[in-house]
């Protein structure tokens, strides 16, 4: 049994093709009741990018719905890992295999792939899994913080000191990711847990937002419009387009309205205490 | 493919496409770019290219390496930079600046282990075409709002930020967004919607402001004005 989080989380989603690209290759999926938000930015010729990102969000969404209907995210597994982590890992592998298989089987999909960022809310925690350069930011107490680190050549160059964060703004290598879903038979998603507090707003976005809109501008929009999440999402997409809209842009905003600890029965508490 | 234009005393000598990950510059014949001049060290400098970005490194030369007049040890080359070695100049022109389809070029791609080599080897020269990226249109003239009634009557607020919020938090708030096309007002929160020149706004629907519009937010009236 899983707690229903639809009273706890408020979600606003916007996705737009931008002003230059003919297609929107981004896909989004949200299930506030389950506490799940997934965003993917596809790549590959013709419509293959849309296929890859669409597969990623829809398969992962439905598979996780099934997984958490069967067992709550906070159930511990035999090895002590929580089901939230085990399920995310397992289902991301599953999606990866499905996209990879499709790209092997159908020549028009050859080489397609997608980035992924997924946020799963459970027990006052947000588990964030990501692959590639789609990001998750947290807005808390008037401060915007990027919680994911891009899997990109540029980020590696910044980490190794070849290039400064300031110079990175002028790099021509912004578009190269070092990890993607569906490119190889297996994939390693990066996964971290963060404490989620009431009042937090989580921002999932494709690079079409953070390449066109500077972090301080994203922060000022959240600061001004946090009372109206829907408008804030509209405004962020608008800003990306006002600045040139050179890429597809997708934004998912998730607000935590109240604490959401897992209700534990007395024997579960006892069991946890004995353990 | 990025390239260098070699010149001496302002006279163009030749175009040198960057076809290798590491291009060396020096007086000795084994360098990729040999400049046979005594002011140039045997191994003077190198340009390291990672797909579309190039970095210049001075190899502890006697007379130093300069970029746009500044001495450098290591430098991230930008389109149009001029590398100076003695009286020789090397102007750096990046690939993107020469690309025709800039939009296509920016598509996200996965970096494969062998890509660096292939990107450099297989890159074919693109016909030069100056196509600046689609930048935001010219900024509209600045505007402000002037409070007409209440305790703050006469106060003026310049709309310099991209977003300016008006009203009382948790009671009634509207936001004015400064966009390339002009100024737009939208309702943010509160049970009552703002009224602009007699017209009640719709939720989440931006409304374009015209000069001398009267904005009513919770009884406080303000005039929107473009500044000359």
- The dihedral region occupied by A155, where left means phi > 0, alpha psi between -120 and 50, and beta the remainder, is alpha
What the block records as the tokens of A70 is 């069967």
Is B135 near chain A, with CB under 8 Å? Answer: yes
**Straight-line distance from the first to the last Cα atom of chain A, in angstroms, rounded to the nearest whole number:** 22
CA gap B224, B116 in Å, rounded: 55
How many alpha carbons fall within 13 Å on the CB side of residue B108? Answer: 34
Residues 49-68 of B with CB under 8 A from A: 50-53, 55
Q: Is residue A91 helix, strand or coil?
A: helix
Strand runs labelled E in chain A? 9-16, 26-31, 36-43, 113-114, 116-122, 125-131, 135-140, 143-146, 176-177, 190-195, 201-205, 249-256
* Predicted ipTM of the assembly: 0.79
DSSP single-letter state for residue B10: T
Mention every residue, 6+ apart, whose C-beta is less than 8 A from residue A185: A96, A97, A100
φ/ψ of residue B174, rounded to 5: -125, 160
The reported pLDDT for the residue numbered B32 is: 93
pLDDT in tens, chain A (275 residues): 457 899 999 999 999 999 998 889 999 999 999 999 999 999 987 679 999 999 999 999 999 999 999 998 988 888 888 999 999 999 999 999 999 999 999 999 998 999 999 999 999 999 999 999 999 999 999 999 999 999 998 898 888 888 888 888 888 777 889 999 999 999 999 999 999 999 999 999 999 999 999 999 999 999 999 999 999 999 999 999 999 999 999 999 999 999 998 876 677 677 767 76
Contact A228 B108 (CB under 8 A): no
B204 lies within 8 A of chain A by CB: yes
**Interchain proximity A167–B179, CB inside 8 Å:** no
pLDDT in tens, B2-30: 899 999 888 888 899 998 999 999 999 99
Please indicate whether, in this complex, the C-beta atoms of B175 and A231 are within 8 angstroms of each other: yes
Residue A31 near residue A65 (C-beta atoms within 8 A):
yes
d(CA A181, CA A100): 8
- Beta bridge partners, A207, equal none
B94 touches chain A (CB under 8 A): yes
| CB contact (8 A) between residue B109 and residue A244 | no
Give the number of other Cβ atoms within 10 Å of residue A53's Cβ: 34
Interface mutation target, options A199, A228, A243, A249, chain B, most CBs of B under 10 Å:
A228
Closest by Cβ to A224, choosing from B105, B110, B165: B165
Q: How many Cβ pairs within 8 Å bridge chains A and B?
A: 110
Lay out the sheet containing B22-26: strands in order across: B33-34, B22-26, B45-50, B53-58, B74-76
The answer to whether A213 and A243 have CB atoms below 8 angstroms apart is: yes
CA distance A252 to A37: 8
Give me the half-sphere count of Cα atoms (radius 13 Å) on the Cβ side of residue A27: 23
d(CA B193, CA A65): 39
**Rounded distance between C-alpha atoms, residue B168 and residue A112, angstroms:** 49
Q: Are A193 and A138 in contact (CB under 8 A)?
A: no
Residues of B in contact with A179 (CB under 8 A): 110
The pLDDT tens digits of the residues spanning B132-164 come to: 444 444 445 789 999 999 888 889 999 988 999
Buried b (16+ CB within 10 A) or exposed e, B22-55: ebbbbbeeebebebeeeebbebbbbbbbbbbbbb
């Amino acid at each position: 049994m899983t707690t229903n989080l639809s009273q706890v989380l408020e979600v606003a989603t916007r996705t737009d093709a931008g002003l230059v690209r003919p297609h929107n290759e981004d896909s989004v999926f949200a299930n506030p009741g389950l506490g799940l938000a997934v965003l993917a930015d596809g790549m590959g010729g013709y419509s293959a990018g849309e296929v890859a990102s669409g597969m990623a969000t829809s398969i992962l969404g439905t598979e996780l719905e099934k997984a958490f209907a069967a067992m709550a995210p906070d159930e511990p597994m035999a090895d002590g890992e929580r089901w939230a982590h085990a399920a995310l890992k397992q289902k991301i592998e599953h999606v990866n295999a499905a996209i990879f298989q499709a790209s092997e089987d159908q020549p028009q999909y050859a080489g397609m792939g997608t980035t992924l960022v997924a946020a799963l809310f459970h027990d006052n925690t947000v588990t964030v899994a990501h692959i590639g350069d789609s990001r998750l930011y947290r807005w808390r107490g008037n401060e915007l913080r990027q919680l994911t680190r891009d899997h990109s050549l540029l980020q590696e160059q910044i980490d190794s000191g070849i290039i400064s964060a300031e110079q990175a703004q002028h790099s021509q290598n912004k578009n190269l990711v070092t990890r993607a879903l569906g490119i190889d038979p297996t994939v390693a998603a990066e996964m971290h847990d963060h404490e989620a507090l009431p009042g937090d707003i989580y921002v999932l976005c494709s690079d079409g937002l953070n390449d066109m809109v500077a972090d301080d501008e994203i922060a000022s929009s959240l600061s001004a419009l946090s009372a109206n999440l829907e408008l804030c999402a509209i405004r962020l997409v608008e800003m990306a387009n006002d600045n040139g809209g050179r890429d597809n842009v997708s934004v998912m905003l998730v607000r935590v309205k109240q604490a959401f600890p897992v209700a534990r029965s007395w024997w579960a508490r006892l069991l946890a205490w004995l353990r | 493919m990025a390239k260098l234009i070699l010149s001496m005393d302002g006279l163009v000598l030749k175009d040198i496409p960057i076809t290798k990950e590491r291009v060396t510059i020096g007086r000795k014949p084994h360098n990729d770019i040999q400049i046979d001049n005594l002011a140039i060290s045997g191994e003077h400098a190198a340009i390291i290219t990672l797909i579309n970005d190039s970095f210049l490194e001075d190899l502890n030369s006697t007379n130093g390496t300069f970029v746009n007049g500044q001495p450098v040890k290591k430098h991230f080359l930008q389109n149009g930079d001029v590398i100076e070695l003695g009286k020789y100049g090397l102007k750096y022109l990046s690939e993107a600046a020469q690309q025709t389809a800039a939009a296509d070029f920016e598509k996200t791609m996965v970096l494969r282990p062998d890509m660096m080599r292939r990107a450099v080897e297989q890159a074919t020269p693109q016909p030069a075409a100056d196509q600046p990226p689609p930048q935001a249109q010219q900024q509209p003239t600045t505007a402000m709002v002037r409070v007409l009634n209440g305790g703050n009557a006469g106060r003026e607020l310049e709309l310099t930020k991209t977003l300016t919020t008006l009203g009382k938090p948790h009671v009634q708030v509207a936001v004015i967004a400064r966009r390339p096309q002009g100024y737009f007002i939208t309702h943010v929160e509160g049970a009552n919607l703002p009224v602009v020149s007699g017209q009640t706004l719709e939720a989440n629907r931006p409304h374009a402001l015209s000069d001398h519009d009267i904005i009513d937010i919770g009884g406080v009236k303000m005039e929107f004005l473009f500044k000359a």
